[in-house]
């Protein structure tokens, strides 16, 4: 993400150049390997961030007086666009089970919408200061994504679903970014922007840069999702039973949806 107006400086410019390089390499590598279509939501998000952040940086240098408005508009849209990464992860976790995959996507959207109504929206409506409202929105949106990601991780572990290098990398990178952002925005709310502003607008770009590094490594080569019949029984001996349970649920759900 771009840093706040007035805090670009050398550090901000370094983050800007680094993130643009990582995003460009991600898109270039996927295009060369012809697997953009395998992760359409994720790469749509990366293309959006690359194009819009480049436009915001151009505004900073050409029309500096308009940079703050352009930044905050991009910042808000970007927070919402990040939910596309969760949908991509959900789709790939349940890829072997089409009916469950559609249900997982629907549940992800439903959880996001529910949290937006009861958890994120009040942060905007109850705050009288625009800056506090934006920080509250960012904090609650990041916490919502962390909850959804945690549910996906738990589900994958519960049913012993093998994720593969690509999806595991998506989850790892996103979890790092979300974890840092939740702690960062919470600290900004507790300590105040006057005290924490310089740290706030360094930690978030740093977390996103690390996230991009993890994504670049994980998605350098396309690694197909492991087959469900290749899952080895866990130490408790119930992995195979859970996999069969999920397969039966997928079949039952498919029959229900065809009615």
Mean pLDDT of 10-32: 89
Task: Identify the pLDDT of residue 255.
Answer: 45
Q: Is the pLDDT at 131 greater than 90, yes or no?
A: no
What pLDDT is attached to residue 236? 46
**Residue labelled with tokens 């992760």:** 39
Predicted local confidence at residue 80, as pLDDT: 83
**Taken in order 90, 18, 81, 32, is the CA torsion positive or negative?**
negative
Taking alpha carbons only, the member of 107, 59, 229 closest to residue 161 is: 229
Per-residue model confidence (pLDDT) at position 103: 61
What per-residue confidence (pLDDT) applies to 211? 96
Which of 6-20, 176-190, 192-206, 243-257 is the least confident region?
A: 243-257
Residues in the chain, how many?
Answer: 259
Q: Give the integer Cα–Cα distance in Å for 132 and 74.
A: 17
Which range among 70-84, 167-181, 206-220 shows the weakest confidence by mean pLDDT?
70-84
Q: What is the mean pLDDT of the chain?
A: 77
In terms of pLDDT, which residue wins out, 224 or 143? 143
DSSP one-letter string for the chain: -PPPTT--HHHHHHHHHHHHHHHHHHHHHHHHHT-GGGSHHHHHHHHHHHHHHHHHHHHHHH-GGGHHHHHHHHHHHHHHHTHHHHHHHHHHHTTT-HHHHHHHHHHHHHHHHHHIIIIIHHHHHT-SSHHHHHHHHHHHHHHHHHHHHHHHHHHHHHTT---HHHHHHHHHHHHHHHHHHHHHHHHHHHH-HHHHHHHHHHHHHHHHHHHHHHHHHHTSS--PPPPGGGPPP-TTS-HHHHHHHHHHHHHHHHHHHH-
pTM for this model (two decimals): 0.79
List of domains in the chain = 9-223+238-258 (1.20.1070)
- Specify whether the CB–CB gap between 250 and 97 falls below 8 A: yes
Which tens digits make up the pLDDT trace of 37-46?
A: 999 999 999 9
Which two structure tokens, joined as six digits, stand for 225? 């999702």
Q: Considering the chain, what percentage of its residues have pLDDT values greater than 70?
A: 67
Look at 68 and 106; give whichever has higher pLDDT: 68
Compute CA distances 209 → 19, 177, 182, 225, whole Å. Answer: 6, 9, 16, 26
Q: 48: pLDDT confidence band, cut at 50, 70 and 90?
A: very high
* CA–CA distance, 58 with 180 (Å, rounded to integer): 27
């Amino acid at each position: 993400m771009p840093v706040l107006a007035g805090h670009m400086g050398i550090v901000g410019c370094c983050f800007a150049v680094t993130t643009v390089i990582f995003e460009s390499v991600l898109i270039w590598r996927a295009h060369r390997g012809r697997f953009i279509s395998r992760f359409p939501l994720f790469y749509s998000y990366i293309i959006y961030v690359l194009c819009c952040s480049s436009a915001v940086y151009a505004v900073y240098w050409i029309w500096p007086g308009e940079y703050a408005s352009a930044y905050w508009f991009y910042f808000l849209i970007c927070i919402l666009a990040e939910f596309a990464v969760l949908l991509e992860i959900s789709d790939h976790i349940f890829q072997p089970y089409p009916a469950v995959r559609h249900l997982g996507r629907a549940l992800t959207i439903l959880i996001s919408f529910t949290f937006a109504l009861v958890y994120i929206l009040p942060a905007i409506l109850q705050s009288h200061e625009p800056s506090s409202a934006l920080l509250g929105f960012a904090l609650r949106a990041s916490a919502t994504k962390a909850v959804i990601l945690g549910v996906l991780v738990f589900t994958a572990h519960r049913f012993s679903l093998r994720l593969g290098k690509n999806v595991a990398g998506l989850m790892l990178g996103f979890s790092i970014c979300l974890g840092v952002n939740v702690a960062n925005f919470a600290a900004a709310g507790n300590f105040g922007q006057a005290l924490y502003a310089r740290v706030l607008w360094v930690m978030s770009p740093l977390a996103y840069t690390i996230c991009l590094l993890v994504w670049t490594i994980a998605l350098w080569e396309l690694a197909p999702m492991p087959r469900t019949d290749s899952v080895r029984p866990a130490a408790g001996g119930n992995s195979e039973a859970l996999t069969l349970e999920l397969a039966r649920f997928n079949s039952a759900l498919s029959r229900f949806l065809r009615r």
